[in-house]
Chain A
Amino acid sequence: MKIVVELFKKGGWRFSTGLFILSFLIVIGLSIDLLYPLGKERNFDDGLCTPSIWSNSSQVKETQQQIVRSGTIPGQKKNSVHKYDTVACSRNYPFGTDTIGTDPFYIVFSCISKYFIPLLIVLFIAIGLGCVFGVMTGYYDETKQGFCAMILSNSISALPQLLLLMLVCIFASKGELNQSTSFMVIACTFGIAESTRVGKSIMNKIHVLREEEFIDAAKELGVSDWRIISRHILWFNCRELLVIHGIFATASFIMMELYLGYFNVGNFDAWGNLLGANATTGILGNESLFPAELTALFGPVTKGFANRWLLFLPASVVVLFIFSLFLIGDGLVKYSGQSQES
């Protein structure tokens, strides 16, 4: 309890604001099926879109049954081509609807719960393996095992994370793995790649700690290496570092998933897929992404950007989520700095 109070005190406004925003988004994400139960449905009544957030479920079901019975959509001729309407953001559709009639508002919030298990995997691997790398390269740096760990750590960190994840995504798609398994594979790969960064931080910390005398004193007293490493080094001196790295690793993983979606590799049913599709092909209109002055510099990037709300409104939620993680991480850095000073 004392730590929590101190955390809020020393972490400053950043920590509290970050925690508030994050909790708010997670609560909405977890209760989106209650708040917007028709988010997955189609009512074919409102221009072939998902029923709006205010729609009546019994009415929607009735319309659906009517369509099944008659084979026509209300307001459209029989055998006419179904046209999906892109609805602009409004009271009914806060984030509008996309070219296939789905509501990004529902999708963006329902995706939050899909990140929990991958993020836990990332945290577990990044911190666990990071501790192993850190201890091997910091505490046992003069042994052969330490040298091997250093080479392995350097080799993994030499591969740019996005490039590695793209390759693994391609591998996962060729291996015909299902979406959720691929997502876990990507989380594992990212965890391994991120562990080298955690390892380097722990290594630096151990190098600083070795200059202090308590490690030598503990050794002289006959304390085992395992106890020195686990209790004195990792628990007492590195736990804040690990939490901070864990939070930034979480933010980085979400960012990486967005970029994979932008490259259209992986296609996980998450934010990357939604934003990536909307940033490239999902919002084709008649406008060029870059205007005349900038097009002269870049060339047309995509053909259209007519329905810009489809990118920016869902992106704002994602940015808010990542921003809150940054705020919490930053607050923890401040707390850690003040604790060390005191």
Chain B
Amino acid sequence: MKNLFTLIKRETLVTLLTLFVSTFLVFITVYYATGDLAKKEANFFALYVDSWRVFFGGDSHFGPVFEISSNVETSISNGLSASAILVTLALLLTFILSLAVALFILFRREWRFSAFIEQILFFTGSVPIFVTIAAIAVMFSSCSSDQQTQSIGFLQSTFSDNVGKYFIAALILSIGSGMVGELVRTFKLELQKIVDDHYILSARARDASLWKHITRASIVPMTSGIVSKVPFFIGAALIVERGVNLQGIAFCMMLYSRDDTFNFAAMFELSILVVFFVVFMNLINRVVLLVFDPISRAKQLSRGKV
């Protein structure tokens, strides 16, 4: 237990260091992405410190351009919550769908369409998401003249009113991005290894329940598989948001990167929050790995240096 705690502490330190470096990389990119104004107003490191001050709710030393007004703050928090809901829902859907399909293919190997389903899901990744969205739209197309008058806002009502919208958007994100197809392959391979393991085979021979063993053995590969895709999911979510007109991070980024409305602090905050999310998910993955995988724990302990 003490060893585990030490390892988790070490992983947290590594994560903090990663966070520091990635936020610095984000700062450099945003600094150059937001035009000459930032460079004229302040030197690089003063602005870096100032950005963090604004990020934690303080006042900027470099005038109103670097401040976040309450309107901007509200739109960012709305955008972030919309994107977070979409990504989380898509992750959940992807996990459930991939697991279900992988298990189905694994236990129905002799069925001739199993391989076909796997191939189709894998190759959906070669179709750009916006083309998929357009294709869905055209498939259900039945025009009426009053459609243009409807409101655009996705977030103008409560979450419970929008569950259906989020669900369909998440479904497009998980299947349309090809993520389900990729994870079905990973899960199938990992599950196959587990199912063909000696202790599972002997448990099967004795008619014991397999699910407890399978669940425990598959936690680590499943978590690693899904968490490693989080950055990709966030990227793909930006496209789906634009496609289905959800005012999430993509909307805020496009808004605050425009010449007439650009806001350095807003861009920095948006990018940093995305990085926080990804790094935090990676940390969870590492902790899960250490808790559930004794081999990985032993390897980490044997290194002992990091």
Contact = CB atoms under 8 A, between A and B. Distances in A.
Verify that A and B bind, or say they do not.
yes
Interface of A: 141-142, 147, 150-152, 154-164, 166-168, 170-171, 174-175, 251, 255, 258-259, 262-263, 275-276, 279, 286-301, 303, 305, 308, 311-312, 315, 318-319, 322-323, 325-326, 330
Interface string B113-143: 0000000001101111111011111101111
A161 B29 CA distance: 13
Contacts of A174: 32-36
Contact of B282 (A141, A154, A275, A325): A154
Interface of B: 14, 17-19, 21-22, 25-26, 29-30, 32-36, 122-123, 125-131, 133-138, 140-145, 147-148, 150-154, 164-165, 168-169, 231-232, 234-236, 238-239, 242-245, 250, 253-254, 257, 267, 271, 274-275, 278-279, 282, 303, 305-306
A287 B143 CA distance: 6
Contacts of A162: 234-236, 238-239
25 contacts: A150-B14, A151-B14, A151-B17, A155-B21, A160-B238, A161-B232, A163-B253, A170-B34, A171-B32, A174-B35, A258-B128, A259-B130, A259-B235, A262-B128, A275-B131, A288-B143, A290-B140, A295-B150, A298-B168, A300-B147, A301-B243, A305-B137, A305-B141, A308-B134, A326-B125
A175 B39 CA distance: 13
Nearest to B236: A162
Interface SS of chain B: helix
Nearest to A200: B228
A325 B274 CA distance: 30
Contacts of A262: 128, 130, 239, 242
A280 to B, nearest CB: 8
Contacts of B267: 167
A168 B33 CA distance: 6
B140 A159 contact: no
A291 B128 contact: no
Contacts of B278: 158-160
Residue from B141, B144, B282 having most chain A Cβ neighbours under 10 A: B141
Contacts, number: 195
B271 A279 contact: no
Contacts of B305: 142
Contacts of A163: 234-235, 238, 253, 271, 274
Contacts of B236: 162
- Pick the 4 closest A-B CB pairs, nearest first: A162-B235, A155-B22, A288-B147, A155-B21
Given A170-B33, A259-B239, A279-B130, A160 B22 contact: no
B18 A323 contact: no
Given A297-B168, A312-B131, A303 B148 contact: yes
Contacts of A276: 130
A312 B135 contact: yes
Residue from A175, A275, A279, A289 having most chain B Cβ neighbours under 10 A: A289
B253 A166 contact: yes
A299 B134 contact: no
Given A301-B137, A305-B137, A315-B131, A160 B274 contact: yes
A167 B30 contact: yes
A42 B188 CA distance: 54
Contact of B33 (A141, A158, A167, A251): A167
Contacts of A141: 303
A158 B147 contact: no
A322 B271 CA distance: 29
A262 B239 CA distance: 8
A276 B239 CA distance: 11
A263 B147 contact: no
A17 B165 CA distance: 38
Nearest to B15: A154
A279 B18 contact: no
Given A147-B306, A308-B138, A323-B126, 8 more contacts: A159-B271, A170-B257, A262-B239, A286-B145, A290-B137, A305-B134, A312-B131, A325-B126
A162 B253 CA distance: 12
Nearest to A321: B126
Contacts of A295: 147, 150
B253 A255 contact: no
A288 B126 CA distance: 26
A61 B128 CA distance: 39
